[in-house]
Amino acid sequence: MRERSGQRSAQQEVEVPTEVLLLLRDMRAHLRDHAEPPVYISDRRLKKIKNMIVVAAHAQGRSRVLMVDCLLAQHAAWNLPEEQHVIAEWLLEHLCADPAIPQLQFLLEGLTARASKAVLQSAEQRARHGDEVAAVGDELEKLRAAVGVEWTSRRALALSIEAAPRDLWLQRSDCSALQQRVAPRARAQLQGLEELLISIQSLTVAVRVCQNENLQVSKVELLDLVNTPRESTTNGAGESSGRAFGDEELGWSRQEAKANLSADDFREWRRLQRTTRKKNKGAGGQRRRRQAEFNDDDDDW
């Protein structure tokens, strides 16, 4: 009776996030459909695994189940002892799910393009077709909320991995595997999401400036603000996309660069050098062309 009472108390006081339930669901599907030999987990057994994880979290004084708690499922999901390793490997591989950063970046690029077009609308066009700038602002808020949810999840995972050695139930081997295999991915994804949030906030500020009719800002200045490069030193997964080079290194000749750099760094050096030259060469002319193109419309703004 006391045991059942304790379980009920844990069920009432401990929150089980949706991502934990989805992970357990996917684990069962994988073991049933892809494991060799298949491992069947009944609904009743899966519920017991979930309850075990809840009680484990409650015993440590937590009001919420963490993703790392799911590693305990390896001790209850197997039919044969040798299957435990297979289950543990799958859990370690899927604790840190891909937040689809490239897709989120693609959405942000689309909103940036829409904002650029909206800046060129006259007051009459906005009245006739609706305020596209305001619509972009609403979409940005939704995107920021979605990225914020992913960031919160990765942050919680990274913190729980740091605290794993103090967990009452995780074995040393589990903690070591978390530190070596899951933590780097969590940190990389966290960094990528943080940079994406910064880009979203930058565009949000630009959109708000566009919406403020009291500001005397020309279309050229608005375009520059909306399209301000938000370049990142990381790729979609948050990993470094190449070595950073200073002005002195970018001024090297090709022979000097080849002598001092590896093949991968040399390719990155050439790419950055070409980009820098194009920017320096085209910045002045591009701004003059924009000014000439929109000069007649400045009075409307």
Whole-number pLDDT of residue 44 = 95
pLDDT at 229: 46
How far apart, in Å, are the Cα atoms of 214 and each of 202, 211, 301? Answer: 20, 9, 9
**Separation CA 250–CA 265 (nearest Å):** 12
Q: Are residues 30 and 57 in the same domain?
A: yes
pTM given for the model:
0.66
| Same-domain pairing of 224 and 111 | yes
Q: How confident is the model at residue 232 (pLDDT cuts 50, 70, 90)?
A: very low
Indicate the burial class of 62 (C-beta count within 10 angstroms; 0-12, 13-18, 19 or more).
middle
pLDDT digits (tens, 9 = 90+) for 103-140: 898 999 898 888 888 777 666 766 665 677 788 889 99
What does the alpha-carbon distance between residue 147 and residue 194 come to, in Å, rounded to a whole number?
A: 9
* Lowest-confidence pick of 7-21, 134-148, 254-268: 254-268
Q: Tell me the pLDDT band of 298, cut-offs 50, 70 and 90.
A: very low
Do residue 218 and residue 286 come from a single domain?
Answer: no
User: Taken in order 241, 245, 250, 254, is the CA torsion positive or negative?
Assistant: negative
| Same domain flag for 133 and 42 | no
Of 33 and 214, the structure prediction assigns the larger pLDDT to: 33
Query: Of the residues 241, 274, 289, which one is the last residue of a structural domain?
Result: 241
**Residue 60 pLDDT more than 80?**
yes
CB of 191 closer than 8 Å to CB of 124: no
Check: CB of residue 271 under 8 Å from CB of residue 293. no
Portion of the chain with pLDDT greater than 70, in percent: 70
Range of the domain at 56: 2-94
Band (pLDDT 50/70/90 cuts) for residue 102 is confident
**Separation between Cα atoms, residue 124 and residue 183, nearest integer Å:** 53
The verdict on 14 and 144 lying in the same domain is: no
Q: Identify the domain boundary among 94, 125, 140.
A: 94
Confidence at residue 151, expressed as pLDDT on a 0 to 100 scale: 92
Among 75, 94, 113, give the residue marking a domain's end: 94
256 plus 209 within the same structural domain:
no
The enclosing domain of 76 has a CATH number of 1.10.8
Confidence band of 11 (pLDDT split at 50, 70, 90) = confident
Provide the CA 18 distance to its chain's centre, in angstroms: 18
On whether both 180 and 125 belong to a single domain, the answer is: yes
How many domains does the structure of the chain reveal?
A: 3
119 and 233: one domain?
yes
pLDDT confidence of residue 43:
95
What does the pLDDT read at residue 29? 96
For the residues 14-40, what does the mean pLDDT come to?
94
- pLDDT for 299: 45
- Claim to verify: residue 224 and residue 264 sit in the same structural domain: no
The pLDDT of 188-205, averaged and rounded, is 88
d(CA 148, CA 119): 27
Q: Within a 10 A sphere around the Cβ of 11, how many other Cβ atoms?
A: 14
Please name the amino acid found at residue 164. Answer: A
| Pair (237, 107) in one structural domain | yes
Q: What is the pLDDT of residue 243?
A: 55
pLDDT for residue 272 is more than 80: no
* Structure confidence at residue 73 as a pLDDT band (50, 70, 90): very high
Between 274 and 182, residue with greater pLDDT: 182
62 in the same domain as 41: yes
Hunting for tokens 């305020």 — which residue is that? 131
Do 15 and 134 lie in one domain? The reply is no
For residues 237 and 98, give the distance between their C-alpha atoms in angstroms, rounded to a whole number: 8
**Is there a contact between 157 and 68 (Cβ–Cβ < 8 Å)?**
yes
Q: Which of 7-16, 69-78, 91-100, 138-147 has the lowest mean pLDDT?
A: 7-16
DSSP state of 171: -
pLDDT of res. 244: 58
Amino acid in position 171: Q
